[in-house]
Amino acid sequence: MTYGQRIFSIVPDSAATPELKAAKVEHLGPPPGPGLKDQRNRVLRDLRLSVIDQCNFRCTYCMPKEVFGRDYAFLPKASLLTFSEINTLARVFVSLGVEKLRITGGEPLLRKSLEDLIAMLSLLKTPSGNPVEIAMTTNGVLLKEKARLLRDAGLHRVTVSLDALSDDVFRRMNDMDYPVGDVLAGIDAAIQAGLSVKINMVVQRGVNDHEILPMAEAFRDRGLTLRFIEYMDVGSSNAWQLDQVVSAQEIVNTISTRHPLTAIGRDIPSEVSEQWEYVDGKGKIGMISSVTKPFCGNCSRARISAEGVLYTCLFAESGTDLRSLLRQSDAPSDTDLAHAIANVWTQRTDRYSELRHVLPRENKKVEMSYIGG
Ligand code: SAM
């Protein structure tokens, strides 16, 4: 049996597998609170929640059809955390200092009645009484019908993934023949609903690098921030090669030939993207350069898969099973859960992107569609 089958198709109660660790509830010291630091002094502030491992796209760089085909075993419904379980975990993470929740997937809008989850999460308050920021990453196809509902439920921001404006290139990349017009309509609907919108574009050499400039110009004209993501070696399905990566610097150079840019850095150190401003004052773009300029040193993010496995790195090979804990007959208290989560975060040492080029990889990494983007 391969790692992929084990982690994707079988409920993770088998904590005996080295890839899935059991959560440890050890009440060592007082209940943990905000400001939890890991072994590299990184503070927990962000939580990404995957709500489903399925997607309506089969992006060739993320969920290639050869791997995620018709007979691929996605998680059965009973394996997915319920909204109440997700809310419980989110509440505990917020008590530990998380200020921002990002809903992701798979394609999060495929999860039925997602607005009900957003409504629950929108009631959470930080220990100092502030509301928690709620964001979502989506391919945008279903936003046209969902944006208003989501906004009314309490969603604040949406990041729409869009890799090309050319319909032809876009259809080829999503590999399910979705027209780019569906995503553009979703973006319009999100703006009209009052959501704050950003666009993310993954750039792959020879596939969509000729779309860099048209994308930059289109979103600059619309006043929307476009963020370019270096193609990453996430998971083990996409046959990633370093020469397919277009570096952030190359992207900046391409755009600068037409529209000069200056670097303005990050708003906050833990932000994933480094920002660049158009010299003529017409807005900003972002660069997410995990390959050429890793930002592990300021990573504040924890991630929970749709079945409740906690990961501290997008490139992780193993995670901690929180769902078994949540589903124990003797239900854990928030304090129990806080200890279990603190136990993972405070032991964290990972910094995959900084070591990418020097460490050999023996085990398969978790897939992006499973862990969430
Ligand atoms: N379905 C949603 C979407 O399309 O935004 C959320 C999940 S998707 C895995 C999240 C983001 O990860 C998308 O922007 C996608 O382009 C990006 N992504 C997936 N695989 C990637 C890779 N190998 N390198 C860089 N970004 C990747």
- Residue 1, pLDDT > 80, answer no
Nearest to 26 by CA among 359, 345, 341, 364: 341
Q: What is the DSSP letter of 244?
A: G
Distance in Å, CA 104 to ligand 1 centroid: 9
Distance in Å, CA 352 to ligand 1 centroid: 18
Distance in Å, CA 368 to ligand 1 centroid: 7
Pocket of ligand 1 (CB under 6 A): 55, 61-62, 104-105, 107, 137-139, 161, 200, 202, 229, 231-232, 234, 238, 368-369, 372-373
pLDDT tens for 183-234 read 999 999 999 999 999 999 999 999 999 999 999 999 999 999 999 999 999 9
Q: What is the mean pLDDT of residues 289-313?
A: 97
Hey, CA dihedral for 293, 352, 309, 38, is it positive or negative? Answer: negative
Which of 61, 68, 367 to probe ligand 1 with, by most ligand atoms within 8 A of CB?
61
pLDDT at 128: 96
Helix (H) or strand (E) holding 57: none
pLDDT at 113: 98
| Banded pLDDT at 149 (limits 50, 70, 90) | very high
- What tokens were used for 178? 């979705």
Q: Give nearest CA residue, ligand 1 atom 14.
A: 161
Nearest to 312 by CA among 356, 359, 336, 345: 345
The atom number, within ligand 1, closest to the CA of 104 reads: 6
pLDDT at 155: 98
Helix (H) or strand (E) holding 101: strand 100-104
Give the span between the Cα atoms of 153 and 158, in whole angstroms: 13
Give the span between the Cα atoms of 367 and 5, in whole angstroms: 12
Q: What is the mean pLDDT of residues 257-278?
A: 96
| CA distances, 220 to each of 82, 189, 226, 330, 338 (Å) | 39, 18, 8, 54, 43
CA 160 to chain centre: 12
Mean pLDDT of the chain: 93
Which of 57, 137, 241 to probe ligand 1 with, by most ligand atoms within 8 A of CB?
137
- Residue 351, pLDDT > 50, answer yes
Residue with tokens 């405070």: 346
Q: What is the dihedral of CA 315, 35, 89, 229, to 10 degrees?
A: -30
pTM for the whole structure: 0.94
Nearest to 306 by CA among 119, 105, 71: 105
